Amino acid sequence: MHLSQVKRYAQRLLNPFHGVMQVIAIEHAEAESTDGINWILYVSHEDIVSHTGMSEIRYGSWNQQDGLQLSRVRGTETSNIIDMVGEKIAAAVEKYASTIPFPLNDRYECWLLTEDGEPLALLDTVDSYDKQRSHDRTIWHPGTKAYEEFHSDFGDAGRLKQLINQRAGERSRTLWVERKKTDFGYSGDAIKDKEVTIAAANIPQRLLLEDWQTVEDSRLVADYLAWLAPWLLQLNNYDDDKRQMIEQQAWKRPMLCAKQYHLFAKVLDEKQLKVTRVQARLMGYDGQGQKVIETFIHTGDKETYSP
């Protein structure tokens, strides 16, 4: 397959930020990975939509160790199309999966604002103007894992959620802007209607406002951002001093670092990354990332199936 027929890009996973999804796309199909190891393959041909009412069919999964694992699809008359397109996306993944991480393409950003109109937290991103979604009165979430795993001497995920959304005010506002690409990723000024709305220096590099009125609030937010560090290392919008600080925080979460390091935009301390990966193995991580187990997918409208 010719390189010009394959698109390779990345998109941030949001509200809250929890990493970067890698995408390999061809006509009528794409593959996605959130760890750089395991890929989910989808087919979205219009004939499949008209027959099943489904916008896409999961073709299977792929990783370097096990190769292609097909989903068990039943109840569709378009299996030949699924196979034809699926084989092409599988070939593209096998060829290009090792070239990660891919550059971000989601330059349009939706920010939750403070009552004073400052960017408070990044809520959403898209790759084109016409994909912008309404986020009126949207609240920020710390994420399910934060409720389970995040701990700070200054509060928990519930208090953090309350803190962020109180700063947004009762009538929270959002703002869609376009970011200009720089040497450090999407870290330029925020543009709205071709005018600079927010200067780059006033937009949080780590996607959450770090300036708070009390020491306790500042430390709670700082502890949360440190907890996010393995995901934040997937962004390419830091100078080396900032990246070094984030790396030092990330090494304190060896399991997540071992699962996500394939997607790090840059690594300054390769030696410490190796030490961290060894520590993760000693803690029981087997190096398979978020491995996928294929399940039965029923696309018909009459039959039922129980595995």
pLDDT digits over 30-53, tens only? 999 999 999 999 998 666 555 554
| Distance of alpha carbon 75 from alpha carbon 242, whole angstroms | 53
Is residue 278 very low, low, confident or very high in pLDDT (cuts 50, 70, 90)?
A: very high
Asked if residue 216 and residue 241 are part of one domain, the reply reads no
Q: Domain ends where: 202, 221, 240?
A: 221
Name residue 175's beta-bridge partners: 111
Grade residue 182 by pLDDT with cuts at 50, 70 and 90. Answer: confident
Q: What crossing angle do the helices spanning 270-282 and 240-250 adopt, rounded to 10°?
A: 20
Domain end, chosen from 221, 254, 280, is at 221
Which pLDDT score is estimated for 280?
96
pLDDT confidence band for 123 (50 / 70 / 90):
very high
Together in a domain, 130 and 63:
no
Tell whether 272 is covered by a domain.
yes
State which of 45, 70, 103 marks the end of a domain.
103
220-248 average pLDDT score: 97
Structure tokens at 103: 């550059």
Same domain, 254 and 215: no
Looking at the fold, whether 133 and 215 belong to one and the same domain comes out as yes
Same domain, 96 and 124: no
What is residue 285's predicted lDDT score, i.e. its pLDDT?
A: 85
Given this model, what pLDDT does residue 288 score? 76
How much is the pLDDT for 279? 96
- According to DSSP, residue 302 is labeled S
Of the candidate ranges 37-46, 66-75, 285-294, the one whose mean pLDDT is the lowest:
285-294
C-alpha dihedral, 299 to 301 to 302 to 303, nearest 10° = 20
Is residue 154, in this structure, part of any structural domain at all? yes
Helix (H) or strand (E) holding 161: helix 157-168
The candidate with the shortest Cα–Cα distance to 231, out of 33, 19, 15, is: 19
Please report whether residue 305 resides in a domain: no
Residue 79 domain-assigned (yes or no):
yes
Give the predicted TM-score (pTM) of the model: 0.88
Q: Decide if pLDDT at 281 tops 80.
A: yes
Residue given tokens 């290009």 in the structure block: 96
C-alpha to C-alpha distance for 31 and 205, rounded to whole angstroms:
28
Q: With 60 as the cut, is the pLDDT of residue 54 above it?
A: no
Over the Cα atoms of the chain, what is R_g?
21
Q: What is the mean pLDDT of residues 228-249?
A: 96
Per-residue pLDDT at 259 exceeds 80: yes
The strand pair at 108-113 and 119-126 is best described as antiparallel
* pLDDT for 46: 65
Flag whether 149 is in a domain.
yes
- Whether the CB-CB separation of 49 and 263 falls below 8 Å is answered with no
206 φ/ψ angles, rounded to the nearest 5 degrees: -100, 20
Which domain, by its residues, includes 246?
228-290
Average pLDDT over residues 7-12: 96
Asked, for residue 306, whether it belongs to a domain, the answer is no
Matching residue, tokens 């927010």: 198
Query: Would 20 be classed as within a structural domain?
Result: yes
Which carries the bigger pLDDT value, residue 50 or residue 264? 264
pLDDT at 294 over 90: no
Residue 296 has pLDDT above 80, yes or no: no
Q: Decide if 254 is inside a domain.
A: yes
- Alpha carbon 238 to its chain centroid, in Å, reads 18
Averaged pLDDT of the chain:
88
